[in-house]
Amino acid sequence: MSARVDLSAVQNAYGLCYVRTPWAWFTRIALDRQWGERWEHAPYMRESGLPYADEPDQILKLGFDGPLLGPEEGAHAHSYSVQEINARKTAWLRSENYFGGVPIHIMSGVTIQRFTELVELAGGMVYAPLGWGQLPTLRLKSDTTS
């Protein structure tokens, strides 16, 4: 059994600002104003902290899976700081396809809608907390007989 979460109200209001697999954080403020502890240090996976949130709805956190690699992984691995990644010097997530497929690069600032499209294109899924959005109303058997 699964439930779909309606993210339509926020799908274009937030941009990707941080990734620590299997989580992706999105901010509703400009990337140059979003910050976290030691975001200027590389490699980000070892040095940086999670994004700061000065307001309750400033940061949204989504789970994801799929064959995507971070900047410090794979054949083209390199150390970057969060600040450099958010300045678009590299992608937060990317695919490495050795069979001629379309390469996928998920850059900072990408909307939740585009992030979901790209993760699914790579063969993955995006997950949101069930408390978000409107869950579909279940019709009980007794509701259909009246």
pLDDT digits (tens, 9 = 90+) for 96-142: 876 667 889 999 999 999 999 999 999 999 998 766 554 444 444 55
pLDDT of 56 reads 83
pLDDT of 57 reads 86
Evaluate whether residue 37 is within a structural domain: yes
Evaluate whether residue 8 is within a structural domain: no
pLDDT of 137 reads 45
pLDDT digits (tens, 9 = 90+) for 33-85: 999 999 999 999 999 999 999 988 899 999 999 999 999 998 888 999 999 99
Domain that holds residue 59: 15-144
pLDDT of 134 reads 45
Evaluate whether residue 6 is within a structural domain: no
pLDDT score of 90 more than 60: yes
Domain count, the chain: 1
pLDDT tier at 2, thresholds 50, 70, 90: low
Rg (CA), the chain: 17
CA 69, CA 77: separation in Å to the nearest integer?
9
Evaluate whether residue 138 is within a structural domain: yes
Tell me how crowded residue 23 is: count the other CB atoms within 10 A of its CB: 13
CA 60, CA 5: separation in Å to the nearest integer?
14
pLDDT of 91 reads 97
Evaluate whether residue 1 is within a structural domain: no
pLDDT of 130 reads 67
Evaluate whether residue 129 is within a structural domain: yes
Q: Which of 122, 92, 120, 94 is nearest to 107 (CA)?
A: 92
Evaluate whether residue 130 is within a structural domain: yes
Enter the tokens of residue 77: 């691995």
Evaluate whether residue 3 is within a structural domain: no
